[in-house]
Structure 1
């Protein structure tokens, strides 16, 4: 890749993507605070000035990374929501699998949450809330409300509480992985396994009074 600023719009898009990919890879290996602009540029095969040109600064680059992955997650959740009109009984098992995949496919995001979002306030924290919990929270709340209207969730279940419970069940093991890995042997490999997805699905279906189709019920037993 050229180390100067490309003039072609397509090549500019490629360089921006390369910088975003570099930020993601580095965050998989080290903390946000320890990553330097020079490291980011070297990882992307370009010059440090390109970060300033395209993103303003290091923080701007990581804000853009949150935007990019937030849009990807939103598209995947919209695909799940599409089942509401055709196969509502499959929504919860597919939703558990989708969110589990999203979280285990983005270890860098968990690192950012632990290092920055939970530890300090700032633009990264504010932007993370908008691109992850707010988007997922709204999507879950809508889906749970529709499922309740269809009689698939018990009438006495509070959709807001159900949303909070699901987010907690799925996010906490990822954030607390160093603790539960040492004590229980539950590591990232376990958290991305079908057995873990089935466990979460069973907990949620039993707790929410969810009534899946016979085939789905057999799958989670």
Structure 2
């Protein structure tokens, strides 16, 4: 027997936070199942087992909910980035972390692809601010600290190339699977992470 969605906004701030987290979790889960444009308010409410009015109360609309999801993912991502920078092999750890994150959140790559193809997409603009722009301030220095590269511009180019190597197989999933016959499972395999690392390090000279 399915649960009856909770109705109304709780007065307890802790319960309000719990409701928001349930909606964010629902958005993240549904994004791995269907494209963003196909996710409905009803889908989100049913998955979170909450009244749909809670989405409007906490986030105003579906887009607001997914903007909040990007913010949560960004915060988690850059907390991990700080930890990675202190590891013995930070570039290898970075590649492994990024591949694990993208494999776990396949819908994120689809969201990036779909929203970047639109003009004036608030989600696309938010993603650039929350992920690539922040990464562009951190990754080049990490590369300078752990490779033979010392020039700022070359470090920036190397950082962009590394991120592209990691992300493109997920963004171009259909071509990867249909033309190259490389599965999602292969991308989650340590052998793929080692391959990307070797290609990058050898390219750095």
**TM-score with structure 2 setting the length:** 0.91
**Could you say which residue in structure 1 is the equivalent of 2:58?**
54
Show CA shifts across 1:90-142 (max 9, x none). 12211211111121121121121122123443210110111121222222112
Contact kept, 8 Å, 2:140 with 2:156, in 1: the verdict is yes
Q: Kindly indicate whether residue 127 of structure 2 is the aligned counterpart of residue 122 of structure 1.
A: no
**Could you say which residue in structure 2 is the equivalent of 1:106?**
105
**Could you say which residue in structure 2 is the equivalent of 1:219?**
none
Show CA shifts across 1:127-178 (max 9, x none). 011112122222211212333xxxx324468101001110111111111111
**Could you say which residue in structure 2 is the equivalent of 1:170?**
166
Unpaired runs of 5+ in structure 2?
none
Counterpart Cα distance in 2 of 1:55 and 1:4: 15
Task: Identify which of 25, 28, 32 aligns with 1:28.
Answer: 32
Instruction: Give the CA deviation at 1:48.
Output: 1.2
Unpaired runs of 5+ in structure 1?
210-221
Superposed, 1:63-142 pairs within 5 Å as: 63-83=67-87, 87=88, 90-142=89-141
Q: Kindly indicate whether residue 186 of structure 2 is the aligned counterpart of residue 180 of structure 1.
A: no
Contact kept, 8 Å, 1:37 with 1:58, in 2: the verdict is yes
The number of aligned residues is 200
Counterpart Cα distance in 2 of 1:198 and 1:183: 22
Contact kept, 8 Å, 1:3 with 1:45, in 2: the verdict is no
Range that drifts further, 67-76 or 101-110? 101-110
Contact kept, 8 Å, 1:19 with 1:41, in 2: the verdict is yes
**Could you say which residue in structure 1 is the equivalent of 2:23?**
19
Determine helix, strand or coil for the equivalent of 2:36. Answer: coil
Determine helix, strand or coil for the equivalent of 1:70. Answer: helix
Range that drifts further, 183-192 or 60-69? 183-192
RMSD of aligned alpha carbons? 1.6
Counterpart Cα distance in 2 of 1:141 and 1:130: 17
**TM-score with structure 1 setting the length:** 0.85
